[in-house]
Structure 1
Amino acid sequence: KIRKERGRLIILKALAEQTNGTLDSSVLEEVMPVFAIRETRQWVHEQLEYLAELNAVRLTRAGTVMVATLKVAGRRHLDRDEILLGVTRPSEPGA
C-alpha cells in the first residue's frame, strides 16, 4: 500500500516537472527505479488509472503506452491545497 501511494506521488511530481505536464508510461517506468521502486509498465498503468479516477491526471492511450497529463486536482495535491486519498502527501516546503 505504501509503495503504491509513494509511486503515485512520484508520478505526479514527474508530470509537474514537465513544461507541458505530460509524460508517457515508458518514461515513468524508467523514473521509478531512481526512487527505489522497480515495477512493470503494467504496475505504472495501474497507478495512472488510479490517479485518473481521482481526476488528478488525464490519460490517453498510444499503442502500448499511456500518456498522462497533470490536471488541476493533481497540482493542488502537490501544492498541499488538497488531499488525494491513496497518494502520499508531499513534504512541507523546505522540510
Structure 2
Amino acid sequence: MSMENRIVEEARLIILRALAEQPNESLSSEILRQELASFAISRERGWVHGQLDWLAEERAVTVTPVGSVRVATLAERGARHLRREIAIEGVQRPSRPD
C-alpha cells in the first residue's frame, strides 16, 4: 500500500472518531481540517471535502453544505465501523479497546 493510501485511510478514521466525540456527532469541514493537521495530515479544505464525499458515498457520514464549508454528521454505518462491528474498506480499522 502506498504512503498516500495509508494517509487517506488514517484521515478517514480520524474524521469518524472526531465526529463520534461530539455531543451532536457533527463538525464542519474546517474544524475537521484543523483536527487532521493536529495529526500531521495537513491538507486543503477541498481535500477534506473529497474525503467527506467519499465517506458519504460509503454511508459512514452525511454531509450538508453550509456556505463555503460542509457539515459532516456521523451515520450509523460509521459508528459501527468505530465499534469494530463492520469494516469499511478504505478506512483504517480502529484499534481494539484495551
- Quickly name the TM-score band, shorter chain normalised: over 0.9
Identity %: 50
| RMSD over equivalenced CA pairs, Å | 0.5
Q: Which of 9, 18, 25 is equivalent to 2:13?
A: 9
- Alignment of 1:79 with 2:52, yes or no, is no
Displacement over 6 Å in runs of 4+? none
Give the structure-2-normalised TM-score.
0.94
Instruction: Please give the TM-score of this superposition, normalised by the length of structure 1.
Output: 0.97
**Which 5+ residue runs of structure 1 have no aligned equivalent?**
none
Q: Which residue of 1 aligns with 2:27?
A: 23
CA shift, 1:9, in A, is 0.2
Counterpart Cα distance in 2 of 1:84 and 1:69: 17
- Per the alignment, in what secondary structure is the counterpart of residue 97 of structure 2? coil
Size of the aligned set, in residue pairs, is 94
**Secondary structure, counterpart of 1:93 in structure 2:** coil
1:70 equivalent to 2:74? Answer: yes
Amino acid of the structure 1 residue aligned with 2:84: R
- Identify the residue that residue 60 of structure 2 maps to in structure 1: 56
Structure 2: which 5+ residue stretches go unaligned?
none
Are 2:44 and 1:40 equivalent residues in the alignment?
A: yes
